[in-house]
Structures are given as structure tokens and as C-alpha cells.
């Protein structure tokens, strides 16, 4: 999972490109596509995990926007799969929650900042990804 720090302006070829502009989206999409292409040619299958819901609504909107780019660009490759983390770490409506059900218990899965995961959150994501791998790599 990458991208939590990506929703910000960048300097590209000496020019400031601001987050939220079409120019930023086009540049970011190109970079995501190049990265996905690299993964595609070096792997039988590759997976790109989207961002989970964030506590701060403005930051959550940014993470949804970058995740949409990940999903769209990953779908351009036959061996690429996008994994949404929203059903794994979100609440029943897909919004932010700090606690999730693990083995019938409510477990703290997000850090105090509303961004990062606790060990429980990391384990929940790991289990979801392993389940996906198991179903995709059945022989």
C-alpha cells in the first residue's frame, strides 16, 4: 500500500503542480500507470491496495481520489487487481471507524492520528490480502 502522502503538490521539471488540478491528476495517473506497468511485466499477478477510510473528511476525500486512480490504472492490466480496503477497515457504510470486529471482538485497528493502522488493523488487512491470494492462486 502506497500513496498516503501523495495528495499534495509536486515540482515537476521545475514547475509547481498543485494537488486538485487536472495537471496534477494527469501527472499522477501517468506515474501510477508506469508503476503498474513495471509490476505487470515482472509479475504473474499484481495487486494494488486502495486507501482505507480516513477520519478527517477532507483527507478522506483525497485518499478516495488517489484510490480511484489506482483502481482505474490497475484495471488496464490483465494481471492487475485492485483491492479496496474500505470493506476491510471501514464501518458498515464504508466510512471511518477506529474499531473493527476481529474474531467476534471489537479491536482497535487504527492509530490515534486516524490514518495509520495498529497491529490489529495490519493483521486484518493481511488476512484480507491472503484470502485474495489463496483464491487467485488456486491450482
pLDDT at 136: 83
Rounded Cα distance, 68 and 10, in Å: 19
Tell me the pLDDT tens digit for each residue of 29-50. 999 999 999 999 999 899 999 9
* Strands, E assignment, 4-121: 10-12, 15-17, 46-49, 80-83, 99-102, 105-108
Q: Is the pLDDT of residue 139 over 70?
A: no
pLDDT at 116: 95
Q: Which domains does the chain have, with CATH numbers?
A: 10-136 (3.40.50.1110)
Q: Is the pLDDT of residue 58 over 90?
A: yes
At 62, is the pLDDT very low, low, confident or very high (cuts 50, 70, 90)? very high
Beta bridge partners of 15: 12
Mean pLDDT for the chain overall: 94
Tell me the pLDDT tens digit for each residue of 7-24. 999 999 999 999 999 999
DSSP-derived letter for residue 15 is E
Q: Give the C-alpha distances (Å, rounded to integers) separating 32 from 67, 102, 135.
A: 11, 32, 26
Which residue, among 120, 64, 116, has the nearest Cα to 95 in the 3D structure?
A: 64
Record the pTM: 0.90
Mean pLDDT, residues 91-118: 95
Rounded Cα distance, 92 and 66, in Å: 22
User: Chain-centre distance of CA 64, in angstroms?
Assistant: 8
Amino acid at each position: 500500500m502506497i500513496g498516503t502522502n501523495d495528495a499534495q503538490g509536486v515540482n515537476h521539471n521545475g514547475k509547481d503542480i498543485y494537488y486538485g488540478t487536472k495537471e496534477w491528476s494527469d501527472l499522477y495517473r501517468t506515474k501510477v500507470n508506469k508503476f503498474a506497468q513495471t509490476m505487470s511485466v515482472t509479475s504473474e499477478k499484481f495487486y494494488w491496495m486502495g486507501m482505507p477510510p480516513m477520519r478527517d473528511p477532507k483527507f478522506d476525500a483525497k485518499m478516495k481520489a488517489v484510490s480511484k486512480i489506482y483502481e482505474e490504472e490497475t484495471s488496464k492490466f490483465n494481471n492487475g487487481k485492485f483491492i479496496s480496503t474500505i470493506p476491510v477497515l471501514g464501518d458498515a457504510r464504508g466510512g471511518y471507524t477506529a474499531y473493527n470486529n476481529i474474531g467476534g471482538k471489537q479491536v482497535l485497528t487504527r492509530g490515534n492520528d486516524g490514518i495509520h493502522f495498529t497491529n490489529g488493523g495490519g493483521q486484518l488487512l493481511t488476512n484480507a490480502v491472503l484470502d485474495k491470494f489463496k483464491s487467485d492462486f488456486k491450482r
